[in-house]
Chain A
């Protein structure tokens, strides 16, 4: 089926093709304020939905009485679990996991118990407060290690172990000359997308419903939603609304089912929009973790073994914990040649807020730990941070600890070397006071300021893994209007800011050789595109669009041949008396299911990045300013170089945030800082300049050689910043985010989680 793209320069030059820096397809409406995000949707006569949430981390619901609430002015519907017409539960990876509305128990603070639709949002909120609930408070479990003990109270019919992964590679009892150990802690990060969870559900004449919503995966929403509504999928249409950032938080449904239930019940359009505080309760967060590591190496610093026990807190419901656990385990040894490994990774169910997808998806947690270990090892072997990584870095053909060999990637040594050779910033002495840590508030004019430099390398899979049927569909229609040929591309890929829309247009222009290409609104009227996650859309939807365009072109060639014409010399419009439409579903090569020993070719491809962070630390106050982050990343091929840089800078912003400020503080299951006043994300004055070396080492299976881009920048940037802070302070800093306390007092662990001695890899090493 292969057909080369049109020869460049054969006809008029087509602008906006692959490899060119292309402005966003939605740029103009976005800068004009005309772009409709989900929370901007409005319909004459629409109702407003509100959610009543559990105040308890674990309780039995003794009584629910909605009668008073239902009688309040303006109230059109009050729904509880009894009113769910279809399936009572849903879940991203386990459909039997999470109740649509609490099913007699509540398992986390913020769990939806009832929903209300009313004429105004004020009336809806007032009604939620008028619902009478009696709870019997139960003993909650907040410690994930306690939760997975056989004696622990069962928090859910499906038990407290969400996933357990064991990876055995080589000799589990391998011994080494040099052994370093460490215990690391990783706090809860939030995606903190600015756009709130929002959508508008509109009932249809045929008894179905159309939902306009901000999501990452339209078809996954549909697949969860329709059974709960008791409707066939044909009666539910989901349309992508403007998405104000996602970063994993829109993988799970939020308002989707509730808004549709209310719309179907009231026969009126219903809009639901979470406020900022509610948003922190209404989406999953990044898994907090404890990681116990032992690394063994030769005296020369060549890795002999890695042993790790990783415990992730999945919170009250499963969400995507099983895949996050698999990832944390799969990437637990880093992008290094490790002949022997034992990794135990477990995800626990607790009464904490549920956790799930966030950019980096399990790879971020283990990267923080294994990169700290690599620095310890370097010190123990008398090597520097760059040397130890270059010495152990994977090269093409090497296998990771799941025995999967690397294909189509630049060697780690090259990435590290190129990152290390990027220019360093000016010294602290040359910086304006406001550029110093705490300088904006006069704390230092140079007193106490020490500079540190740190390195980290990270890697992760692109696309879905472990045997998941991963596919993406594209429909391309080429026709001619008065202005000439025009192509319309229709996919369900969710544009969440990452730039997949522009990538689709670039690919279509490249393949079809025309500039006039438009996108249809993403919805469920076309086949699934899979999620905008796992850095997979450029690869998956990119491939689908590419192949659909090539099929369209083949048809053009056939038509031209029939007319006795040569395509390159023909006005395409002459061949388009009737449109050409092709729909293609692309599947990447099969991946293997995980085996009990964790050994399998579970991933399609890997992406790699190295980061070098430069920080200034006021060692007396513990305040940190990240001065610069340099990075080298292998992206395969930069389809849109402008978009690639944006993803790299944006991912680093989130990595820096996690390193020095971002933490959802959860006490007794309650989020204590559910606001932008106290959940701090970086401002423009916290954002370091980024120097990026974009490496294009084409992957044989990626579209034009492209791999994913979006997650790699978040994976190792955090570890690099913390390494730099360690260099400046000589503190161990085994926990992120690093707080001023940790620098000043050397405190680290705060969670109090404890693992059983038998699970402690350090003990195994000592024994």
Chain B
């Protein structure tokens, strides 16, 4: 079963004859997939579009990710479920879902199962989703305002991420999540960097804003870059990706640490 949500990925494959699925299930008009529920916990239906996320995303970083999609046409079409379904390392929302430690909700005739995002992607455009399963939602705990998402690209709109980074500091739960996009076969969680950041917040106090030292920010960036597994491709070199991640890591930390 091939599921068609906003069409921003699948239609390209169809138009260029790279895929000829027997059956296509179009889910863009399934109302129940387009809902967002929030009560400290967020359940975002798979059919929620980027346009919708601009108004209500249940995550600051996710709203920022939606805003970086330059084209209104793509924002009107692309969905969180589609991003998960394609499971591209360059998927715009995926580093955020990783940083939020989101859960992917999959359903089949046999019932529903919930997969932590960390276990969801298995490779470029590969995931644990079975052919008979539909992505129905992504869920996460609301994590407060200390979040950001950024990516580098040479163009200022309609840009594909050369390397992207999401950072979520959940001050209530004393948790730091970092997700790296376009720099490995899957979205990468740099565990050492997250641990280092936790230490910084332990020291500075989780409940109040602080300004990390330049050296601390740099060290975080270094740890982020060290965790990446980038490749050279037409969009950028591995060396540049690592470098950009280090810069973004440092900047993200400095930025979110000051938000309480």
Contact = CB atoms under 8 A, between A and B. Distances in A.
The answer to whether A and B come from one shared complex is: yes
Contacts of A744: 240, 243-244
A660 B156 CA distance: 11
Interface in A389-445: 438, 440-445
Interface in A634-693: 660-661, 665, 672-673, 677-678, 680, 682-686
Interface string A731-743: 0000000011100
A295 interface: no
Contacts of A447: 251
A585 interface: no
Nearest to A686: B156
A625 interface: yes
B59 to A, nearest CB: 14
Nearest to A122: B17
A441 B159 contact: yes
B49 interface: no
Given A741-B236, A741-B239, A741-B240, A443 B151 contact: yes
Contacts of A441: 68, 150-153, 159, 161, 164
Interface string A705-724: 00000000000000000000
A660 B243 CA distance: 19
A440 B156 contact: yes
Given A444-B251, A623-B154, A740-B152, A677 B70 contact: no
B157 A685 contact: yes
Nearest to A620: B247
Given A678-B235, A740-B152, A740-B236, A443 B157 contact: no
B168 interface: no
Quick one: which of A624, A682, A739, A740 has the most chain B CB within 10 A?
Answer: A740
Quick one: which of A621, A623, A625, A682 has the most chain B CB within 10 A?
Answer: A621
Given A442-B64, A744-B240, A672 B234 contact: yes
Interface in A437-490: 438, 440-445, 447-448
Contact of A685 (B70, B160, B161): B70
Contact of B237 (A444, A621, A623, A741): A741
B70 A623 contact: no
B156 A683 contact: yes
B156 A685 contact: yes
B135 interface: no
A438 B234 CA distance: 19
B248 interface: yes
A680 B152 CA distance: 14
Contacts of A686: 155-157
A718 to B, nearest CB: 15
A624 B157 CA distance: 13
A440 B240 contact: no
Contact of B244 (A682, A683, A740): A740
B51 interface: no
A739 B156 contact: no
A125 B16 CA distance: 12
A196 interface: no
Quick one: which of B64, B68, B160, B247 has the most chain A CB within 10 A?
Answer: B247
B154 A442 contact: no
A300 B154 CA distance: 39
Given A443-B152, A660-B154, A680-B154, A622 B251 contact: no
B158 interface: yes
B155 A683 contact: yes
Nearest to A671: B234
A336 to B, nearest CB: 32
B186 interface: no
A745 B157 CA distance: 25
Contacts, number: 89
B121 to A, nearest CB: 21
B254 to A, nearest CB: 8
Contacts of B248: 443, 621
Contacts of B17: 125
A698 to B, nearest CB: 40
Given A440-B68, A621-B244, A683 B152 contact: no
B155 A442 contact: no
A443 B153 CA distance: 10
B234 A740 contact: no
A682 B70 CA distance: 13
Contacts of B255: 445
Contacts of B236: 739-741
Quick one: which of B17, B156, B247 has the most chain A CB within 10 A?
Answer: B156
Nearest to A660: B154
Contacts of A442: 64, 68, 148-150
Interface string B133-176: 00000000000000011111111111111101000000000000
B155 A678 contact: no
Contacts of A745: 239-240, 243
A709 to B, nearest CB: 27
B234 A622 contact: no
B148 A438 contact: no
A684 B235 CA distance: 21
B169 to A, nearest CB: 16
Nearest to B163: A621
Contacts of A677: 160
Contacts of A680: 154-155
B83 to A, nearest CB: 16
Contacts of A444: 251
A682 B154 CA distance: 10
A173 B93 CA distance: 63
A684 B72 CA distance: 13
A665 B240 contact: no
B154 A739 contact: yes
Given A442-B149, A741-B240, A682 B155 contact: yes
Nearest to B233: A672
Contact of B156 (A445, A625, A672): A625
B64 A661 contact: no
Nearest to A438: B152
Nearest to B92: A441
B183 to A, nearest CB: 14
A678 B248 CA distance: 23
Nearest to B159: A441
A683 B240 contact: no
27 contacts: A438-B150, A440-B156, A441-B68, A441-B150, A441-B153, A441-B164, A442-B150, A443-B152, A443-B247, A443-B251, A445-B255, A621-B244, A622-B240, A623-B153, A623-B154, A672-B234, A678-B235, A680-B154, A680-B155, A684-B157, A686-B155, A740-B152, A740-B162, A741-B237, A744-B240, A744-B243, A745-B240
In the A-B complex, the 4 residue pairs with the smallest Cβ-Cβ separation, listed nearest first, are: A442-B150, A685-B156, A683-B157, A685-B157
Given A443-B247, A623-B154, 4 more contacts: A443-B150, A740-B236, A741-B237, A744-B240
Interface of A: 125, 277, 438, 440-445, 447-448, 620-625, 660-661, 665, 672-673, 677-678, 680, 682-686, 739-741, 744-745
Interface of B: 16-17, 64, 68, 70, 148-162, 164, 234-237, 239-240, 243-244, 247-248, 251, 255
